[in-house]
């Protein structure tokens, strides 16, 4: 990742040369409302968006191609609807296949070290359910622990997740606002986005 500051003080500005790549895992993209809106917003902001279920409907992932995608990225974004308090199946397959020993982890597996990992998840239920005193008893951040542990293993910085809760009932206006926030989050510097401390 590189941050370039222009020399002239009067025009001093910070220009990000960071490459952000969004990997969308949605098994039913044609009926998606929320993830479709978020992905469209990302794309409109100039961020590369890849729809993994379109690329690999048979779950036969091109490992070399996907590893090359990750190597070229500074910020890797995993975007998906929450399924069974977890991820859609292809994201698990992607982890199993792409994050290989000797490449992503192990003494010589340093390909992703220093990159950022951002999880963008959309639970259908409202945020009030995802509380210790709520109906589901766990916060979304707790349910994302396996991805956070994976991030720790592969040497990426786990950024504060972008959680869009209540997608079953989100209004058009709220969704449009969230899509704008998503584009801002994808292009925000790490200091703004924040690492996940908990
Ligand atoms: C198989 C399946 C499992 C789901 N599991 C959960 C869940 O565990 N928690 C939750 O809040 N919503 C769950 N949902 C709701 C989805 O997260 C919700 O439909 C999705 O975020 C909507 O996004 P979309 O418009 O992009 O499809 C589930 C939906 C399906 C189809």
Q: Which residues of 96-123 are buried (b: 16+ CB within 10 A; e: fewer)?
A: ebbbeeebbbeeebebbeebbbbbbbbb
Number of CB atoms found within 10 A of residue 168's CB: 12
Coil, strand or helix: which one is 191? Answer: helix
pLDDT at 93 > cutoff 90: yes
Q: Which of 5-14, 134-143, 148-157, 159-168 has the lowest mean pLDDT?
A: 5-14
What span, in angstroms and rounded, lies between the C-alpha atoms of 189 and 14? 10
Higher pLDDT, 16 or 69: 69
Q: How confident is the model at residue 109 (pLDDT cuts 50, 70, 90)?
A: very high
Could you identify the atom of ligand 1 that is nearest to the CA of residue 35?
26
pLDDT at 11 > cutoff 60: no
**Is this structure's pTM higher than 0.85?**
yes
Q: Residue 16: its pLDDT value, please?
A: 58
Residue 123 Cα to ligand 1 middle (Å): 6
Give residue-wise pLDDT tens across range 72-91: 999 999 999 999 999 999 99
pLDDT at 2 > cutoff 70: no
**Ligand 1 binding pocket includes 73 (Cβ within 6 Å):** no
């Amino acid at each position: 990742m590189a941050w370039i500051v222009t020399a002239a003080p009067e025009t001093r500005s910070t220009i990000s040369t960071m490459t952000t790549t969004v990997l969308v895992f949605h098994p039913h993209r044609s009926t998606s409302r929320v993830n479709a809106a978020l992905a469209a917003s990302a794309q409109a902001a100039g961020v590369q968006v890849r729809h993994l279920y379109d690329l690999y409907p048979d779950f036969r992932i091109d490992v070399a191609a996907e590893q090359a995608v990750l190597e070229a990225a500074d910020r890797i974004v995993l975007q998906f609807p929450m399924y069974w308090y977890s991820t859609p199946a292809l994201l698990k397959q992607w982890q199993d296949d792409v994050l290989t020993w000797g490449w992503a982890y192990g003494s010589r597996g340093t390909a992703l070290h220093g990159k950022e990992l951002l999880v963008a998840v959309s639970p259908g239920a409202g945020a009030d359910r995802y509380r210790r005193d709520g109906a589901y008893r766990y916060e979304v951040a707790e349910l994302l622990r396996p991805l956070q542990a994976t991030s720790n293993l592969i040497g990426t910085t786990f950024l504060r997740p972008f959680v869009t809760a209540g997608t079953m009932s989100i209004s058009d206006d709220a969704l449009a606002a969230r899509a704008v926030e998503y584009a801002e989050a994808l292009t925000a510097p790490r200091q703004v986005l924040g690492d996940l401390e908990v």
